[in-house]
């Protein structure tokens, strides 16, 4: 574990990255320690990567996908000297294991499937070490692609914002959730770079306060004018005319445009509709799951009740109280003004327009996601 000097801003610290050669490790910022501490941890085995994803040390759909790809690389290191059968048995074990970390963010399964496909393409052509090197090259490619996608999302989205606007965002969809600028926050950063002045309102995002701990910190680091509000204040802020646009990220987008994002996003979309405010979703094409027809098919992760009853280590609810703690909700496509992806603006948000812009599902049938959903629901859904 390494402490990053406080003098370094987010502009100079990568959220995650690979250190070394094929026997190296994944190094990432422990986001559970922000904003009070900026700490990096080294993940040298699949178990540490799984724990980092599960416990939100790394979070945000694109960053989860990148971490999973690098997780495959560390997971197969002990099989590099094995025979081909042993190497592939280990790779499948690692991929299946990492797929159990979180069920909703489709980038996790998309990245694992890409890694599988690369290994299978080299089977019989390269040694296990050669395949491990190909896997690392693919993980780095996924990482670099996300950097480029963030910039393109920002470029397309910035055109939708006007100088002097108030904008609201929910949860964290910035550099901490991706390889570079983020998705929703990329829109703000690109707008600022083009000379536009914005005032961002950041929902605190209950129960784990990603908006307060991460988004407010990240915007402050980059010099963006930001005001933190409680989730329950969004309606009042809109009614007062302080917000003219809403931009959020996404963890999975169905073929019809229904979008899963951090719990509370659906509420924000309803409030935006009630106040006639545009509601935009910013996400890369890797977040689309065209094998899922509607949002009703998206598996919703339910997390530990103690995140609500004992938030940040302090008991705030009676012992034995029943708790329901879904980590995500689904915003219907009808409430989304447009989706901003690296290929452009998807408007109207419907099956036909998504198919025209996104094309074939980036991860085919997302089979890893389907396997994971079966595990989550006992295989009988």
Residues annotated catalytic, as ranges: 251
Contact 198, 224 (CB under 8 A): yes
- With b for 16 or more beta-carbon neighbours within 10 A and e for fewer, the 19-47 pattern comes to eeebebbbbbbbbbbbeeebbbbebbbbe
**Calpha distance 276→244 (Å, rounded):** 9
| Token code pair at residue 2 | 């390494």
Q: Which two tokens stand for residue 297?
A: 């098919």
Q: CA 354 → CA 45, 109, 179, 286, distances in Å?
A: 38, 20, 24, 13
CB 6 within 8 A of CB 35: no
Contact 2, 39 (CB under 8 A): yes
DSSP 8-state symbol, 167: E
Please state whether beta strands 288-289 and 252-254 pair in parallel, antiparallel, or not at all (unpaired).
Answer: parallel
Question: Residue 116 and residue 255: Cα distance in Å, rounded?
Answer: 24
- Separation between Cα atoms, residue 359 and residue 199, nearest integer Å: 35
On whether the CB atoms of residues 251 and 106 are closer than 8 A, the answer is yes
What b-and-e string marks burial along 207-230, b requiring 16 or more CB atoms within 10 Å of the CB?
Answer: bbbbbbbbbbbbbbbbebebebbe
Q: Please state, in angstroms and as integers, the Cα–Cα distance from residue 135 to each residue in 51, 111, 141, following that order.
A: 21, 11, 10
């Amino acid at each position: 574990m390494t402490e990053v000097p406080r003098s370094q801003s987010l502009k100079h610290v990568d959220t995650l990255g690979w250190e070394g050669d094929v026997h190296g490790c994944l190094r990432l910022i422990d986001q559970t320690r922000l904003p009070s501490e900026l700490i990096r941890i080294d993940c040298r085995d699949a178990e540490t990567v799984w724990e980092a994803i599960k416990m939100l040390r790394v979070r945000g759909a694109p960053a989860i996908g990148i971490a999973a790809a690098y997780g495959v690389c560390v997971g197969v290191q002990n099989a590099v000297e094995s025979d081909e059968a042993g190497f592939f048995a280990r790779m499948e074990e690692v991929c299946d294991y990492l797929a159990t970390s979180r069920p909703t963010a489709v980038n996790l399964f998309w990245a694992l499937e890409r890694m599988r496909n690369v290994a299978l393409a080299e089977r019989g052509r390269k040694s296990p070490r050669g395949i491990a090197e190909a896997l690392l090259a693919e993980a780095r490619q996924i990482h670099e692609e996300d950097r480029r996608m963030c910039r393109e999302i920002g470029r397309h989205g910035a055109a939708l914002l006007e100088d002097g606007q108030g904008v609201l965002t929910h949860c964290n969809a910035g550099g901490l959730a991706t390889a570079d600028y983020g998705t929703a926050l990329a829109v703000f950063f690109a707008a600022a770079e083009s000379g536009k002045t914005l005032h961002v309102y950041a929902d605190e995002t209950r129960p784990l306060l990603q908006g307060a701990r991460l988004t407010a910190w990240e915007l402050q680091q980059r010099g963006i004018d930001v005001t933190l509000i409680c989730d329950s204040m969004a309606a009042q802020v809109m009614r007062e005319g302080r917000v003219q646009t809403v931009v959020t990220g996404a963890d999975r987008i169905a073929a019809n445009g229904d979008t899963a994002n951090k719990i509370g996003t659906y509420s924000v979309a309803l409030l935006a509709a009630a106040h006639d405010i545009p509601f935009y979703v910013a996400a890369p094409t890797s977040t689309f799951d065209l094998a899922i027809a509607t949002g009703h098919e998206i598996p919703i992760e339910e997390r530990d009740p103690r995140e609500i009853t004992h938030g940040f280590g302090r008991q705030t609810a009676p012992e034995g109280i029943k708790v329901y703690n879904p980590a995500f909700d689904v915003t219907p496509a009808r409430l989304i003004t447009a989706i901003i992806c690296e290929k452009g603006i998807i408007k109207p948000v419907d099956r036909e327009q998504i198919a025209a812009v996104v094309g074939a599902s980036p991860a085919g049938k997302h089979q890893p996601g389907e396997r994971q959903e079966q595990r989550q629901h006992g295989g009988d859904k």
